[in-house]
Structure 1
């Protein structure tokens, strides 16, 4: 017998039960490890890029939305075509981020809108000497030299005018090449995503080269939504889609979401009211 009235066997059992209870309590209080999701993506700076600590505006929004629902995200960068094919086959938990396309969407569950891209017409002020550049409909762009990127889809109305030969376009391999043609005076306007243009201006040109560039306030493609896509071959995709949408709705109610959407200090962010006048034609 011990001094407290227990046998050594009883005391050992008592201590074991107390230890088990404390261990159980510790496990109940410890936060569960976040589930890690592997997402495939491609390069489209500044929205998806390995060059930024946050891996891009859009990818950071996706990461934050998932985090609000208890998920961690790991991105792997691949060519966009491989990203799409492998994600559709279920080799990745999801892929970000994509515009809507009926053919491309096949085999996927599509999330709510991550962000709406700000497609605008970028132009040189010096090309429009008689009056500031203005446009109200695509037909107003007739007679202008318009830069387009060979792999981009654009809008159905724009493509119809191109097919009809109504609009005069110059094709470039990418946005950077289009900007170089615009700065060099070989183009009058270029449809381009605002933050993409700001990124390229900051990283590839001197300020003196781009100081005359402006963006018209009217959106060229006002409904260009973007999304996370989940393969319909994975059993957890539906639940993960719902969780992401919940997190995204919560994130959009915070200032952090709005702050991510503008490129700080870019002159293309300055939006002035469009003048009410006949659309101006460039002086060349």
Structure 2
């Protein structure tokens, strides 16, 4: 394998990271193009997110893409500059209104969660204390299915991912049953390529990636890659309807 090839562990978060897409999804294409501008090829290996993080920490991969920043990752990895910002919202059934201003307001609801997802430190802290009622879910698609079956009241989900899954895996009638609360889980959700701290090549790969990413953003190609995601028609309505 050529020395310039970067082996990256990743997971499924369509349309941003997915084996279903020829370009591997928006975020992974940004990562690929940034590395290419720095002289590296990229090879992705898809696996469950938690495994991708654990194996990268152990040095089995050159990097993992792409992740939110949290205390654990800042301790164990070198984090790149921001790949792209995400919008995390709570999705819920349209016939079951969701009301919240602070996370503690969500105590009455059963919330789907995915192990290994970042969410926010406050969210996970409340979940660990039992102040939020959570239900472990394997992935976002399964979460939406459980929501439609009434087994969940709500689930934190990246808005574009929810849109993509609703339009590609559900009938229009099913999609119409799902809504979202416009309040963001956090107003600053950056995402990053993470590199194992103990791997000798990590510091140089981080520098190369950040240089390529800066060049990509300056070229205008970055904005073209950040294509908008189609959403169910009723999601286009003005927020504040809650």
Q: Secondary structure at the match of 1:161?
A: helix
1:67-102: CA deviation from partner (whole Å, max 9, x where unpaired): 222322222334445544443454443322222233
Task: Note closer, same or farther for the CA distance 1:137–1:102 as it changes in structure 2 (3 Å cut).
Answer: closer
**Pick from 18, 43, 54: which aligns with 2:11?**
43
Task: Tell me by how many angstroms 1:143 deviates.
Answer: 2.5
TM-score by length of 2: 0.81
**Pick from 67, 71, 75: which aligns with 2:40?**
71
Q: Is the 8 A contact 1:40 1:78 kept in 2?
A: no
Structure having the higher Rg: 1
Q: How many pairs are equivalent? A: 239
Task: Tell me by how many angstroms 1:138 deviates.
Answer: 1.6
User: Within 2, Cα distance between the matches of 1:142 and 1:228?
Assistant: 33
1:272 is matched with which residue?
238
User: Within 1, Cα distance between the matches of 2:107 and 2:50?
Assistant: 33
Task: Note closer, same or farther for the CA distance 1:88–1:269 as it changes in structure 2 (3 Å cut).
Answer: same
Matched, 1:197 2:196: no
Task: Note closer, same or farther for the CA distance 1:103–1:165 as it changes in structure 2 (3 Å cut).
Answer: closer
1:187-246: CA deviation from partner (whole Å, max 9, x where unpaired): 332211122222322332112111132222221133332211223444443233122112
Task: Tell me by how many angstroms 1:164 deviates.
Answer: 4.6
Task: Tell me by how many angstroms 1:65 deviates.
Answer: 1.2
Q: Secondary structure at the match of 2:35?
A: helix
Q: Secondary structure at the match of 1:157?
A: helix
**Pick from 160, 169, 181: which aligns with 2:146?**
181
Task: Note closer, same or farther for the CA distance 1:178–1:75 as it changes in structure 2 (3 Å cut).
Answer: closer
User: Within 1, Cα distance between the matches of 2:6 and 2:209?
Assistant: 14
Q: Secondary structure at the match of 2:206?
A: helix
Q: Is the 8 A contact 2:88 2:159 kept in 1?
A: yes
Q: Secondary structure at the match of 2:124?
A: helix
Q: Is the 8 A contact 2:160 2:229 kept in 1?
A: no
1:92-135: CA deviation from partner (whole Å, max 9, x where unpaired): 4332222223334445322111122221111222223xxxx543
Can you give the 5+ residue segments of structure 1 that lack an aligned partner in the other structure?
A: 1-33
Task: Tell me by how many angstroms 1:37 deviates.
Answer: 2.2
Q: Secondary structure at the match of 2:72?
A: coil
Q: Is the 8 A contact 2:69 2:191 kept in 1?
A: yes
Write out aligned runs for 1:107-256 (5 A).
107-128=76-97, 133-253=98-218, 255-256=220-221
Matched, 1:93 2:62: yes
Stretch of structure 1 that moved more, 144-153 or 38-47: 144-153
RMSD, matched Cα: 3.0
Q: Secondary structure at the match of 1:239?
A: helix
Can you give the 5+ residue segments of structure 2 that lack an aligned partner in the other structure?
A: none
TM-score by length of 1: 0.70
User: Within 2, Cα distance between the matches of 1:59 and 1:237?
Assistant: 18
